[in-house]
Amino acid sequence: MSQAKTPEPLISPTTATAQVTEGRFKRVLGVPSLVLFGLVYMVPLTVFTTYGIVTEITGGRVPLAYVITLVAMVFTARSYARMSVAFPYAGSAYVYTQRSFGGAVGFLAGWALLLDYLFLPMINYLVLGLYLGDSFPSVPQWVWVVLAIVLVTVLNIVGIVSVARANFVIIAMQTIFIVVFVAMAFAAAGGNGADLLAPFAGDGTVDGLTPLFAGAAILCLSFLGFDSVSTLAEEAKDSTRTVPRAIMITTLSAGVVFVLLSYTAQIGFPSNEFESADTASIDVVAAVGGQLLSVLFIAGYVAGATGSALTSQASVARILFAMGRDGVLPRALFGRLSRRFGTPVPAILVVSAISLLAIVFDLTLLSEMISFGALIAFSAVNLSVIKHFFIDRRQRSGVAVLRNLVLPLIGFGLTMWLWTSLSGRTFIVGLSWLVVGVLMLAIITRGFRRPTPMLDLKE
C-alpha cells in the first residue's frame, strides 16, 4: 500500500523572514498621524470634484446625499476597525479576507483592491496635470504629471515619517481654504437672503428619495480612502488600539467636512445653473470669493491631489509588499524592504512606473475602475467580520450577535447596493480584471493543484 503523499508545507515564518524581507517596518505612527494620513488620502476638497453633477441629480440636496453615504460608510469602517484588531498587519482587505476565507479568496479580494489602490494615484496625477496645465499653459500637461510622480516617489522611499510630515502641510493648506470659504459663503448667504434649509429640502427641481440615493452612490467615491489607514498597521504604535480609532475618526471627520462644505457651497451659491457640471466648483468659488479665493482654491486642490497621490502610493506599495511577502506575487521583487529606509522600495517604484499611464488614461475610466475594486473589497471585509468573529470564533452571545453579525451584514448590504449602482462599462472592465486575477491564481497554484501560498503573520 502506497504511503500518502505529505502535503507541501506553507511558508514558515523563519523562511519568510530570511527570504522575503531585508528589514522591518518602523512603528512610529500614532493616532493623529494615522488620521492625517487617512484625511489626506481622501482629500477634503474632493467634495468639489462631483459637486455640480450631484447637485443636478439630487435637486440641490448634496449635503443630505452625503449624510446617506456617510451612514453607509460608517458600517464598513467599523468592520475594518474590527478586522484591524484581529489581524494588525499591512495588507488591508487582502489580509483580512485571506485569514478569514483562505488564500484563494484572499488573493482575489486583494486583486480587486488593487483596482482601487493602483489607479487612485493615477487620478491624482491626472488632476494635477489638468489644473497646473490650465494655470501654466506654456508647460505641457505631461511634464507636471512626471514631476509629481518623481516627487511623490522620493518622499515614499525616504519613509513614512516624511509622508506624515508632508501630510501636516497639505492638510494645513486645505484647512486655510475651508475656513476662508466657509466664512465668505455665509457672508454671501446673508447678503443674498439664502434659505438656510434649502440644502436639505432641495430647490424643487427634483423630488423623491431615488435621486438622493443615486447621488449618494456617486459620493461613495469621496470616502474611498478610510481603509488606507489599515495598511499602516505594521507602522503604527500599539496598532490594535490606534488603527481602529484612527479608521473611525477619519471616516466621521471626513463625513462632517463633506457635509459642511457642500452645505456651505449651496447656501453661498444657491443655484444649479453652471457653465459645466464637471467644473461647477469654479463657478461656486468665484461667486463666493472672486479671483483671490479661486487662486487659493486651486492651490489647495493641487496640494490635496499631491497629498492623496502621496498616501495612495504608500498604501498600494504596502498591499503589494504583503502579497509579495506571502508569495502570491514575485517575492524577490515585491516582498522586500529596504534596510536603509525600512520601506518597500521595489513595490514603490513599480507603482510609480504604472502611474505614468496617467498621461494617456481617461479620468472617467479610472474612476469607474476604482469604484468597482473598492466596493468589492468593502463587501469582503464586512463578510470577513462575520466569518472570523461569528462563525470561527463563535462570539454569538448577547450583544455579540449585533456586533459580529447584524452590523457587518448591514454594511455588506449597503456596499452591494452601491456596487450595483455602477455602470455596465464598469462591470465589463472590472470583471475582466478579476478574470486576469483568476488566471494568475491558476498559475501560482499550478492549475489549482497546490494551495495558495500564505504567510504565518507574526512580528
| pTM of the full structure | 0.74
Asked if 336 and 21 count as a contact pair (C-beta separation under 8 A), the reply is yes
Nearest-angstrom CA–CA distance, 369 and 200: 31
- Parse the chain into domains and list their residue ranges: 29-444
**Residue 177 exposed, middle or buried by CB count within 10 Å (0-12, 13-18, 19+):** buried
pLDDT, tens digit, for every residue of 327-380? 777 888 887 777 777 778 888 898 899 889 888 877 667 777 777 777 888 889
Query: Of 170-174, 244-248, 426-430, 435-439, where does mean pLDDT reach its minimum?
Result: 170-174
Torsions phi, psi of 32, nearest 5? Answer: -60, -45
pLDDT, tens digit, for every residue of 260-314? 999 998 888 887 778 767 667 778 888 888 888 888 888 888 877 887 788 778 8
CATH class of the domain comprising 29-444: mainly alpha
Q: Nine-digit cell at 173?
A: 493648506
pLDDT, tens digit, for every residue of 114-152? 777 788 888 888 888 877 877 788 888 889 999 999 988
Q: Nine-digit cell at 4?
A: 500518502
Asked if 192 and 270 count as a contact pair (C-beta separation under 8 A), the reply is yes
Average pLDDT score over residue span 33-58: 81
